[in-house]
Structures are given as C-alpha cells and as structure tokens.
Structure 1
C-alpha cells in the first residue's frame, strides 16, 4: 500500500492506494496498523516550505517519502516550460493523470481550486502551455480587500444569474469570469475532452453541460500513482 498526498494552498488531501483502488483518508485518523502497511508516501505540494515541513511531521520519521517535482518529460508527456521545474507540480500531476485516463487524446486539463489552472495537452503527449487565474473564492477576496464598500457573499454554485445586490454581483461576476475563461480556452485549441478536477470542477461541468467535459476528482492522485515503483 502507498500513501498519496496532494498538498494545495488551502487544503491537503490524501489517499491510500493499492492495486488500482484509491481510498480517501485523513492523516490524523490513520492507526498504527495503517502506518505499518504503508510502503512509501508520494507527495505533490505547492505549499510553502513551512507547510511542507508541518506535513512531514504528520508522517512517521522512518517512512520513505518522495516529494515529486515537475520535469521535462515523464511517461511520454513533455513539459512545454523552458524551465520545467517551474511548472506547478499540481498542474504536472494533473496532466500525467489525464494522459493516463485518456491516452492519445487532445485534452484541456482544468484544476479549479484556489487558483484555476488550465493546460492543453496534444495527442502526442506534448503540453502546449496553460493559463492561471484566480479561483472563485480568491476573486471575491481580492475584490473585497481592494474596495471599501464591497462585501463578500456566500457563493451559490447552482447557477449563474444577474445579481440584484453588490455582494451578489461580486459572486456572480467571479463565476462569469471563470466560465468565460474556460469557454475561451475550449475555443483556443482543438480538443477532444475537457478534464476537470478541484473543488469548483463540478460547477464548471454543470454550467458547460457537455458530454465531452469530464469530472475526475482524483485526477492528481492518478498522476501521483504513476510514480509508484518508478524512480
């Protein structure tokens, strides 16, 4: 059994992986027996050095840990960045996961969380570039912090509607900005599928209402799992 960890800017998710099965876990709830059954922890982290250190203290000191980084090439997928390690490892793992699930296809891979990242992958495994924009909640926080008389609203992810108050207008505007960017990304390059992950992925899928738009909540874990027994 292996422990897979996705450490983001706002939350950390973990899975136990064995023979193709992912089981969600909470690190603090793992028992001594659970820890003894884990061969190795594989971690993809975009968090600060301090947060990474805090995460490491949650794991047994003797446990082998592999911190993954973006590279120029892995599993037939090529990174477009001139400095490959500068591509966020969450984006890299999402690309590797999407390519494993949908090989030899033209993909737009979207991770909708604190930030919304969009990356294109061609059928030959070439990453052709990507975009980064503020996520739904982040957009609200930025606007509220930069203006004197605007307050954040509780955001409903059921629909996109014209707003009848300033607070609601901020929330609806954030949704419109993200959806508009996604629609532009779909049109920018010829693709066969959109592969979504992240906390706001379900909202984007619902709004696009397209059979070629697929939600894969464990997409980054699929990318992490490819590195098991691969050194």
Structure 2
C-alpha cells in the first residue's frame, strides 16, 4: 500500500511517500501543481492531508479523482487517533502539532516525549507516556522574530534568515 502524506503549512507543503510503514521519499512543494506531479509519479493508494493554512476540502476534492483509495483529512477535533488528545480545546489545535504527537508516540511507544518543531512558528509539545498529547507552547519562528524586532524597535536592522534554516 502506498500512502502520500501532505502537511500544508503557511509557507510550503511538506510531503512524505510511504510504502506500507516505510518512508520512501520526503520533500517540499511550493504549489498544488508540484503536489500533482508527485501524485502522478508516486501513484498513492491513499492520502492523508493536514493543514494549518486553511480547510483541506478543495485539496481532497482535487485528489479524489487521482487516488483510488481513501483521502483522510486530519482534523484535531474529529479524526480518530491512536493516542488520547488531552488538549483542552481540540478545535483550536493545529493539525501539524497533533500529527507530530501521533508520530512521536509511534516512534517512542510508552515514553514521555518532547517535540520541538521550528518553522513559521516554534512549537514545543509534550506526549505523556507515549499515549496522551498534553499540548505545549507556540511562539514566532525566526523570520517573524526578525521582522518584529526590526518593526517595533527604533534602531535594529532587518536581519535575513541564514540559507540553512
């Protein structure tokens, strides 16, 4: 079974191509057209979508015509999970944070795990005992911090992101 996972972020779309439980390919796409090229080349049986940039219904509709199996839209408040979501307001939780917690629980079963994800925002989240997502914190990422310091101070220049970040 081939599964394509899409993490639709504020800046880019990250994807992973799985064959059974093995990750075979991962990369970043900038457009829906580039994702379409991955679908044509990879020919997934199923797709899992997660987005912090907005609803996934148009993505799901576009993929429906190209993928024979299920299109799962990962929604923190309603998607069945292999872990307990202990977040107080699951309807406000970003899909990226909960998806990372599911991955951490799978990689580290039965163990407490701290997840740090640095992108547009820097997120630190906690999975307790490998089975309960407890939440964490979210703060501006490096680019947002640079912009804020430049905009809201009198003399600090706008710094650019190093190319490796």
For residue 65 of structure 2, the aligned residue among 61, 69, 76 is 61
What TM-score, normalized to structure 2?
A: 0.77
Tell me the distance in 1 between the aligned counterparts of 2:66 and 2:162: 44
Q: What's the CA shift for 1:116?
A: 0.8
RMSD: 2.8
Q: What stretches of structure 2 of length at least 5 have no aligned partner?
A: 28-33
Considering only CA atoms, is the larger Rg found in Structure 1 or Structure 2?
1
Which whole-Å deviations, capped at 9, do the CAs of 1:149-176 have from their partners, x for residues lacking one?
432223448xxxxxxxxxxxxxxxxxxx
Q: For residue 132 of structure 2, what is the aligned residue in structure 1?
A: 126
Q: What stretches of structure 1 of length at least 5 have no aligned partner?
A: 158-198, 201-231
Q: For residue 5 of structure 1, what is the aligned residue in structure 2?
A: 6
Q: For residue 29 of structure 1, what is the aligned residue in structure 2?
A: 37
Tell me the distance in 2 between the aligned counterparts of 1:99 and 1:147: 42
Distance change (3 Å), C-alpha of 1:83 and 1:15:
same
Q: For residue 81 of structure 1, what is the aligned residue in structure 2?
A: 87
Tell me the distance in 1 between the aligned counterparts of 2:109 and 2:8: 26
Tell me the distance in 2 between the aligned counterparts of 1:156 and 1:14: 23
Tell me the distance in 2 between the aligned counterparts of 1:127 and 1:104: 12
What TM-score, normalized to structure 1?
A: 0.57
Q: For residue 31 of structure 2, what is the aligned residue in structure 1?
A: none
Alignment length (residue pairs): 154
Q: For residue 40 of structure 1, what is the aligned residue in structure 2?
A: 46
Superposed, which structure 2 residues align to 1:1-231 within 5 Å? 1-22=2-23, 23-24=25-26, 26-30=34-38, 32=40, 34=41, 37-49=43-55, 52=56, 55=59, 59=63, 61=65, 63=67, 64-71=70-77, 74-75=81-82, 77-123=83-129, 125-156=131-162
Tell me the distance in 1 between the aligned counterparts of 2:102 and 2:127: 10
> Higher relative CO (CA 8 A, sep ≥ 6), structure 1 or 2?
1
Q: Which is richer in helix?
A: 1
Tell me the distance in 2 between the aligned counterparts of 1:13 and 1:124: 25
